[in-house]
Amino acid sequence: MTQRSMPNKFSCNAQALWTTGPETLELRLQEVRMPADGEVLVRALWSGVSLGTERLVFTGAVPESEWQRMRAPFQEGDFPFPVKYGYACVGEIVEGDPARTGETVFVLHPHQTRFAVSGSAAVKIPDGVPALRAILAANMETALNGLWDGGASPGDHVAVVGGGVVGLLVAYLAARLPGTKVTVVDTDPAKERHARALGAAFALPGDAPLDQDLVFHTSGHPSGLDTALSLAGREAKVVEMSWYGAKPVTAHLGGGFHSRRLTLRSSQVGSLPPDRQARWTYRRRMETALSLLCDPALDTLISPPISIEEAPARLPEIFAGRVPVLAQPIRHGAENDVKNNG
């Protein structure tokens, strides 16, 4: 008798975080089925909030033209509302493949205490990477893709405009190239300690070094793009990694933009760079991102956790910027599951 045809021994109602209207979050009970053949049941330990993207979802600022492209892998509901969104969940396999029971995995899943997914969607977290730090995997994947798009090389002078999680991870990766000098540029002086902990220098916009070989823009603010353009040297590339949703962006492309022959390049993690598509898969990229999280220095990015029960009340003030955070973890636990006999 296959697992698919076996009677359901039990079911559980997990807690899931939904955006139900403009700037409105709520926890919903969600029925979770037993895993079918080839699937595993994951008990969530932590999930990470992607502040930039999830803020746009929270405020209803995802433009209609992007509703399909912006869907998360295990999203439920449709934009603008109600929608269950998120893509940085870390948990433990508790049912399904006996050989993987107890394995700690990363899944591109919304904030939910238990869920069943295909075994291939649950990527094993390497030894040496703590479960909490693994919430950075999706952000590290974005940073890695951005570094590929930029073509950073040893010895380059690199500026990263915007000291959020993705920007700091880009700086962290670039700073590990031999001879590379990396400067994080941000309007908030408090970001300096994070930049230096990750091996980069720090500067306020007015003090940032000019004539950079490569500039990344990750601030999410249109004014930051102008700063990035101003720091680029002749024939340099500016990689735009911010996504603005429906917000109009004005970039000043006069002045020396043309005479310096600058290149403005977009980067988005939804696609592999063309020069890697023949050899790389999305899974290989994710496994690589996870392997890059072994360094304890990365813990500087992780803010104090909140519980999933606190999330509907606490996240609005975090999204509004009233609470300074970088990577915001949500704590899950077995006590959050509501079991039903079946």
- Mean pLDDT in residue range 11-35: 94
On whether the 3-132+302-341 domain is CATH 3.90.180.10, my answer is: yes
Is 29 a residue whose pLDDT tops 50? yes
What are the structural domain ranges in the chain?
3-132+302-341, 139-276
Question: Given this model, what pLDDT does residue 197 score?
Answer: 98
Cβ proximity of 75 and 85 under 8 Å: yes
What is the model's pTM?
Answer: 0.93
* Stretch among 73-77, 185-189, 287-291, 335-339 having the lowest mean pLDDT: 335-339
pLDDT at 241 over 80: yes
Instruction: Work out the average pLDDT over 234-257.
Output: 91
Got the DSSP string for 42-85? Answer: EEEEEEEE-HHHHHHHHHT-S-GGGTTTT--TT-EE-SSSSEE-
pLDDT of residue 340: 33
Percent of the chain with pLDDT over 90: 89
What is the mean pLDDT of the segment spanning 32-38?
94
Higher pLDDT, 7 or 312: 312
- Torsion angle in degrees (nearest 10) through CA of 307, 292, 283, 38: -50
The two structure tokens encoding residue 22: 């403009």
Mean pLDDT of the chain, nearest integer: 93
pLDDT of res. 335: 44
DSSP strand pairing (114-118 vs 10-21): unpaired
Q: What is the pLDDT of residue 4?
A: 41
**Minimum mean pLDDT range among 123-132, 133-142, 237-246:** 237-246
The residue among 293, 316, 324 whose CA lies nearest residue 193 is 324
At 249 the pLDDT is: 87
> Which CATH superfamily does the domain covering 139-276 fall into?
NAD(P)-binding Rossmann-like Domain (3.40.50.720)
What is the structure's pLDDT at 115? 97
Comparing 24-28, 37-41, 215-219, 330-334, which segment has the lowest mean pLDDT?
A: 330-334
> Does the pLDDT of residue 271 top 90, yes or no?
yes
- Please report the pLDDT score of residue 10 as a whole number: 54
* CA 239 to the chain's CA centroid: 17
Do the Cβ atoms of 113 and 339 come closer than 8 Å? no
Asked whether residue 91 carries a pLDDT value surpassing 60, the answer given is yes
